[in-house]
Amino acid sequence: MRGDQFDVIGRSYVVIYDNKALVPPAGRFYFLAPGDRFDLAKRVASRRAEQFRPLGVAKPGRWPGVN
């Protein structure tokens, strides 16, 4: 954590539920991978590349191996 932002560390994922539904109609969840960043004040997720960039929207569908 630094101020209102945190980076995901480790080998697993972080899932954030947004009860204010500021994400597009595709859902209220952010799925963050190691190295991703989330701004709690702005409710914005970003993925590390050369620099941080906004994440795309998760699309509804089936998860492999999950019924």
Q: What is the per-residue pLDDT across 6-56, written as a single tens digit (0 to 9) for each?
A: 999 988 889 888 777 555 566 678 888 888 999 989 888 888 765 656 666
Q: Is 45 exposed, middle or buried (0-12, 13-18, 19+ CB in 10 A)?
A: buried
Q: State both tokens at 8.
A: 């995901």
Q: Which of 3, 4, 14, 7 is nearest to 36 (CA)?
A: 7
In a domain, 62, yes or no: no
In a domain, 34, yes or no: yes
- What does R_g of the chain's alpha carbons equal in angstroms? 13
In a domain, 50, yes or no: yes
Q: What is the pLDDT of residues 56-65, one digit of tens each?
A: 666 666 555 5
In a domain, 33, yes or no: yes
Total count of domains within the chain: 1
Residue 19, domain extent = 5-54
In a domain, 64, yes or no: no
Q: Interior CA angle at 64 toward 59 and 66, to 5°?
A: 100
**3-class SS of residue 50:** coil
